[in-house]
């Protein structure tokens, strides 16, 4: 008979595109005893999660909740509850996850107008306006706010205005942005939005916070056909998260405990302070990277503070660098996806992982490995440049 050992997981410094390291308070919350998914005490936890998500999304939308599933489930929920077969939708593709939106929408039977821009650049409103003029009856315009594959932060307000001028819903992927940069659902006119628990919010993977407004709900309740997925149908899930409390599925109780604590910590820190923290450590990291003679992939002014993309210099094996970081320093970063595979590193500074210790430790390890591999620069230049940013902020 096989004897199985107790699970032992290595301690990692998570500096990739997610998940990020989780605060100890969140891990502690997840060790609380599971109770029934309709227990009044658990319904109180759900109420807390809803209220805190409304504050972080900056919305009054009643249908604000956490889907049981990852950020990809959030993507499928938002698209699937808006789109019906035959609907015309415009999807802005500036990276890997915009491409995923297209694949999903096509499976739902939508007539997809794919709008592409170079991976590493943001869309200009004029590009979206031109596409809207060519579509007869646009049902929705969908876009990624923080494109995790490229490190680009996409401005949203002008594109939202354009979508509404043509009577279309505005759908936003905020998987990487929520909790790290401003996300203002009501002020920016976002009709449907989704995120994920494991990035800047600081909880483990497994939940997809999302919010839709009354305009989306009206369309949902007047669909010609049911939502393609019973499990992700907001007209059903909403009855569990709403006042009706009608059983839909067994919620991941302990994961929701963790999300509640993570959201509490976000609001305790304060949204503006949290956004500023992410930006501060991003600036220090970028200063260090550029002092080493390396180039950022995303253009200045459009860079994500929480996900930094660095171009791999000629002659350097990017996968070998990542392997050395993991094996020698227990630091995880990621490589590129799709068209950027092998061309960039993706370095995350998300939520609990966005701190000075991680920035300085990473730069020290990164310098040592690159020098050992033959990339030449002044030793210590990256560390000194980052330290100067921190010193200037005192």
Distance, CA of 24 to CA of 320 (rounded, Å): 31
Could you tell me if 168 and 302 lie in one domain? no
Closest to 112 in 3D by CA, of 89, 83, 78, 133: 89
- If one counts every other C-beta atom within 10 angstroms of the C-beta of residue 55, the result is 14
pTM of the model: 0.96
338 found inside a domain: yes
Q: Tens of pLDDT along 312-357? A: 999 999 999 999 999 999 999 999 999 999 999 999 999 999 999 9
Domain stops at, among 252, 267, 282: 267
In a domain, 8, yes or no: no
Alpha helices in 242-355 (DSSP H): 253-269, 271-291, 318-329
**Number of domain units in the chain:** 2
In which band, very low, low, confident or very high, does the pLDDT at 394 lie, cut at 50, 70 and 90?
confident
Question: Do 232 and 154 share a structural domain?
Answer: yes
Instruction: Let me know how long the chain is.
Output: 394
Same domain for 284 and 344: yes
Do 96 and 158 belong together in one domain?
A: yes
- Per-residue pLDDT tens over the stretch 176-198: 999 999 999 999 999 999 999 99
277 and 212, same structural domain?
Answer: no
Let me know if residue 41 belongs to a domain: yes
CATH code for the domain in which residue 307 is found: 3.90.1150.10
Query: What per-residue confidence (pLDDT) applies to 122?
Result: 97
Rounded Cα distance between 46 and 65, Å, is 8
Q: Are both 213 and 178 inside the same structural domain?
A: yes
């Amino acid at each position: 008979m096989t004897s199985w050992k107790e699970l032992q997981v290595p301690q990692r410094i998570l500096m990739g595109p997610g998940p990020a390291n989780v605060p100890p308070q969140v891990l502690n919350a997840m060790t609380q005893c599971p109770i029934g998914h309709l227990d009044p005490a658990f319904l109180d936890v759900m109420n807390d999660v809803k209220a805190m998500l409304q504050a972080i999304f900056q919305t009054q939308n009643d249908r604000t909740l956490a889907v049981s599933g990852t950020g990809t489930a959030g993507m499928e929920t938002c698209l699937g509850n808006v789109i019906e077969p035959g609907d015309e939708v415009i999807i802005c593709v500036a990276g890997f996850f915009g491409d995923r939106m297209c694949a999903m929408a096509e499976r739902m039977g939508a007539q997809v107008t794919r709008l592409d821009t170079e991976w590493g650049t943001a869309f200009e409103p004029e590009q979206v306006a031109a596409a809207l003029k060519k579509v007869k009856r646009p049902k929705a315009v969908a876009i990624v706010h923080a494109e995790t594959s490229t490190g680009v932060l996409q401005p949203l307000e002008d594109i939202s205005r354009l979508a509404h001028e043509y009577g279309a819903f505005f759908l936003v992927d905020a998987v990487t942005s929520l909790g790290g940069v401003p996300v203002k659902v009501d002020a920016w006119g976002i009709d449907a939005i989704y995120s994920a628990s494991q990035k800047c919010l600081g909880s483990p993977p497994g939940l997809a916070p999302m919010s839709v407004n009354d305009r989306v709900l009206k369309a949902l309740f007047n669909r010609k056909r049911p939502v393609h997925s019973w499990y992700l149908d907001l007209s059903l899930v909403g009855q569990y998260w709403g006042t009706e409390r009608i059983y839909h599925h067994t919620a991941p109780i302990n994961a929701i405990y963790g999300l509640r604590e993570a959201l509490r910590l976000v609001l305790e820190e304060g949204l503006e302070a949290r956004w500023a923290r992410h930006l501060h450590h991003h600036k220090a990291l970028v200063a260090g990277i550029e002092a080493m003679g390396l180039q950022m992939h995303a253009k200045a002014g459009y860079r994500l503070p929480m996900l930094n993309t660095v171009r791999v210099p000629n002659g350097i094996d990017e996968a070998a660098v990542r392997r050395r970081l993991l094996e020698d320093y227990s630091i995880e970063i990621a490589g590129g996806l799709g068209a950027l595979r092998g061309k960039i590193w993706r370095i995350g500074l998300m939520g609990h992982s966005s701190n000075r210790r991680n920035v300085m430790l990473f730069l020290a390890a990164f310098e040592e490995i690159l020098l050992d591999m033959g990339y030449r620069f002044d030793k210590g230049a990256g560390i000194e440049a980052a330290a100067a940013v921190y010193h200037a902020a005192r």
